[in-house]
A and B are shown apart, each in its own frame.
Chain A
Amino acid sequence: MTSDRAVTSDGAGTAGGPLGGSAPAGDGPAGQASIKPDGEWLRVHPASPFIRGWVALAAIGFFFGRDTFERMLQGRPLMDEMYSGRVPFLIAGGGLVLVLSVLGFILTWYFTRYQVAEGYVRVNTGFLFKQQRQARLDRVQAIDIVQPLLARIFGLAELKFEVADAGESAVRLAYLRIDDARQLRATILARAAGLEPDPERPDEALPEAPEFPVLSVPPSRLIGSLLLSEQSFFVVVGAVASVVLSTVTDNRGFYFYLIPAALGLAAAYWGSFNKGYNFTAAISPDGIRLRYGLLDTQAQTLPPGRIQALKVTQPPLWRIFGWYRMQVNVAGYGGPGSNGEGASRTTLLPVGVLADVMRMLSLVLPDPGTPDPARVFAAGLTGIAPAGRPGPARQPAAAEAAEAGEPDSGFVTSPRRVRLLAPLGWRRNGFTATDTALLIRSGRLWRELVVVPHQRTQSMALHQGPLARRFRVADLVLHTTAGPVSPRVIQAGLDEARALFDAQAARAREARKRQTSEQWLAQVAPAAVVEPDNPQNHQEGPQHG
């Protein structure tokens, strides 16, 4: 990473003046200034509107060019007789549209400027309707570098900066040169972490934090996981059903209905493959780094303590190979599809074996809060309460239970009376609490383990319907930010649920008091944090995995 890379710099705009009129639009990329950590208003790469708007340009070209091209091929005159008198007008009209759109591109580029200063990122956009968006650096929830295929060809990248409001207000900078994007990410993360620029050399760019690879997903496993996924199951069922239907009814028409379905499925498989390809995870003092993508690549950085909730799931067929999937709630990302990006951003691990899961868990939850985390989490993933024995009457803490050698690592499952309501799941559905997180497991066939750190609990609610009241059970819902994980303890016995409700409120309160600054390096000496360890909530907890 070098700091001599130049971004477009606007000489007149340092004071945040509205237009910076003295800087001609053309000379942007030639500017020699290195990234100044403070104050300077910068522009994105001048090619970016064309990369973003190439579809529009291509559409215009297609619209005007197709007919002419066809006529040329067929050897007919280029224009109909009736239009021949208007050729100049048509060409002028087409040219005008083209010029206008290019002008629009240039204007959007010219009026899009950004600045990193005084603990804020500010982005100005728009020339008719101006918008200034600013985000506090210490509220950064996640920061992504996205490279769509076309941008990748040109060596450009989009920088996306999430603050906490469910994907509504991401700050986007599209496009920067990839080196500049990385440099800016390092600067933002360093500021967000609480590192101050060196007062003697304030212009020097901050070095990127070192990172340590943790795991990667081989393509063969990714393909296998797609073939054994839930959607494959439905594909097989659908195919069998249509074949049976067509033989029974002697109607070949069913095959035709399969064509659009097959196309859609192929697109879905391709999407998952494209997104999950070459998935690697690494840890750095700035947080967890995830990289993935075949054609469009993406690099996510999740700073420490930004993960609000996490779930590990295992579809039935993945059990053959012992694979798991991990998804997270991050305040900036929002739910799947909420900004049209599918589920890939909230995936912490598309497919991995138990060791991978444990390793990722140790990154997310550096202090598991129990002396034997491997056993507790394994019980959460695959465990089941022994048959015929009622669950523990009181709630032992997981640590206590591990010491006492409880067979189920302290998981409190549904009472036996619920077996009519949940004949398969009643021994599996349960919860346990470590000193730092609440673990909720459920599902006999679709196994699921949800982990919510105590200090991330927002609010909770006890729910009970009429049927649940007959069985004296209740559900406890933990509210977390929008995302794929929705923690819910299902069908816990009423007394256990009530006790958990009170205990969890107390635990969350304690955890909030312990919670340190949002600036995760502020308390730690900046030079010392290179070991792969999450610097927040430092307690001497054992590392697991």
Chain B
Amino acid sequence: MPTEAIDPPGISWLRVSPKYVTVRLVEWAIGNLIAVALLSLPLVFALVGWWDWVPLWLAITVPAFMLLLAVWRLLLIPRQVRAIGYAERDDDLLIRSGIFFQRTLVVPYGRMQYVDIGVGPVERGLGLCTLKLHTASAGTNAEIPGLPSDEGARLREQLSARGAARLAGL
């Protein structure tokens, strides 16, 4: 598969902290392992012999498929984290993400309504934070996860200052 990126050429991206992989791993574990465990229940019941109305092949293939999917997602995490990038230009902020489903987002500073910083429990432990930009559009899903706290604070101040300088109405 050709791996040509869709972002405009000539932009030097800032990458997020590699520690963000850990956050994603925890999220992955919570989501996928529970799903796999739940889906394995019929198999366990069948093996123990409590009830066996689910055909054995189905009881095996479904959790096996989920497990495969989960492992696939797990392998993708480091690459996905490496794919996240952001760049501050003179008038707008660029955010890119994704490997298979790539997205490059541009948010003009003048359109920002407010900037959020969120810190989850795992992120706090690692000294990371998530920066979120809001415009008047709900479609703007501008999130930069996995920023080191001081970089997050710097970016927030920077964005607020630039936003105030270039603020436009709706």
Q: CB distance B168 to A515 under 8 Å? A: yes
Q: Which residues in B have their C-beta under 8 angstroms from that of A463?
A: 101-103
Instruction: Determine if B137 is an interface residue (Cβ-Cβ < 8 Å).
Output: yes
Chain A interface size, as a band, is 35 or more
The interface of chain A, by Cβ under 8 A from chain B, is 139, 141, 164, 166, 306, 308, 331, 455-466, 469-470, 472, 474, 477, 479-482, 486, 494, 497-498, 501-502, 505, 508-509, 512, 515, 518
Asked whether A164 and B101 contact (CB < 8 A) given A459-B106, A494-B4, the answer is no
- Interface stretch among B107-115, B144-152, B156-164? B107-115
Residue of A nearest to B3 (CB): A469
The interface of chain B, by Cβ under 8 A from chain A, is 1-2, 4, 6-9, 91-92, 100-108, 110-111, 135-140, 142, 166, 168-170
Q: Which residues in B have their C-beta under 8 angstroms from that of A482?
A: 137-138
Asked whether A474 and B6 contact (CB < 8 A) given A459-B142, A461-B104, A469-B1, the answer is yes
Q: CB distance A479 to B104 under 8 Å? A: no
CA distance A308 to B138 in the complex (A): 13
Q: CB distance B8 to A459 under 8 Å? A: no
Which of A141, A470, A505, A518 gathers most chain B CB within 10 Å? A505
6 A–B contacts, CB within 8 A, in A order: A459-B106, A462-B6, A494-B6, A512-B110, A515-B169, A518-B169
Q: CB distance A458 to B106 under 8 Å? A: no
Asked whether A481 and B8 contact (CB < 8 A) given A466-B101, A469-B1, the answer is no
Q: CB distance A459 to B137 under 8 Å? A: yes
Smallest beta-carbon distance B116→chain A, Å: 15
Q: CB distance A505 to B101 under 8 Å? A: no
CA distance A497 to B102 in the complex (A): 14
CA distance A458 to B92 in the complex (A): 11
Q: Which residues in B have their C-beta under 8 angstroms from that of A141?
A: 170
Q: CB distance A166 to B108 under 8 Å? A: no
Asked whether A479 and B108 contact (CB < 8 A) given A464-B6, A464-B101, the answer is no
Q: When the two chains form the complex, which single residue of A331, A498, A505 contacts B108, counting CB atoms closer than 8 Å?
A: A505
Contact residues of A: prevailing secondary structure: mixed
Residue of B nearest to A335 (CB): B138
Q: CB distance A459 to B111 under 8 Å? A: yes
Asked whether A459 and B135 contact (CB < 8 A) given A308-B170, A512-B108, the answer is yes
Q: CB distance A479 to B140 under 8 Å? A: yes
Q: When the two chains form the complex, which single residue of B8, B105, B139 contacts A498, counting CB atoms closer than 8 Å?
A: B8
Q: Which residues in A have their C-beta under 8 angstroms from that of B139?
A: 458-459, 477, 479-480, 486
Q: Which residues in B have their C-beta under 8 angstroms from that of A480?
A: 137, 139
Asked whether A464 and B138 contact (CB < 8 A) given A498-B8, A515-B169, the answer is no
Smallest beta-carbon distance B153→chain A, Å: 23
Which of B107, B166, B170 gathers most chain A CB within 10 Å? B170
Q: CB distance B138 to A459 under 8 Å? A: no
Q: CB distance B105 to A497 under 8 Å? A: no
Residue of B nearest to A497 (CB): B6
Q: Which residues in A have their C-beta under 8 angstroms from that of B4?
A: 469, 472, 494
Q: CB distance B140 to A166 under 8 Å? A: no
Q: CB distance B170 to A501 under 8 Å? A: no
Q: CB distance A466 to B106 under 8 Å? A: no
